[in-house]
Amino acid sequence: MKKRATTTIDATDRSLGRLATEVSLILRGKNKPEYAPNKDIGDNVKVINFSKVKVTGLKQEQKMYYRHSGFMGGLTEIPMHKMKPEDTLKFAVLGMMPKNKLRRKQIKRLSIEL
């Protein structure tokens, strides 16, 4: 098995969504010629300076994330400004990846430094 490469991405003055798109493509391996949807050939991704990422508009105050406990009335709203900063990128990347068994393995290769 080949050793996975590590890609370092500087998040300074980059939009959150565009950064998440680039990270998800590298994690899945879509930037390689031997890409296949059923193979896990992506690389490790290290995001540095994430505290300097750019969030446009009023998203910082108005954007909400939701989670459900599974019980009746168990919907919880979490505003973006109350979340850990690294979780916002993780949720954005997770939303751009396919909902299958490879997703859990691929997201573990993402590391974020503030």
Residues in the chain: 114
Residue 18 lies in a domain: yes
CATH number for position 44: 3.90.1180.10
> Cα dihedral sign for 99, 77, 10, 20?
positive
Residue 65 lies in a domain: no
Domain span at 52: 6-56+85-112
Q: What is the pLDDT of residues 54-103, one digit of tens each?
A: 999 999 999 999 999 999 999 999 999 999 999 999 999 999 999 999 99
Residue 11 lies in a domain: yes
Residue 108 lies in a domain: yes
Report the domain count for the chain.
1
Q: What is the pLDDT of residues 22-53, one digit of tens each?
A: 999 999 999 999 999 999 999 999 999 999 99
Distance (Å, whole) CA 113 – CA 72: 37
Q: Look up the pTM and report it.
A: 0.91
Residue 91 lies in a domain: yes
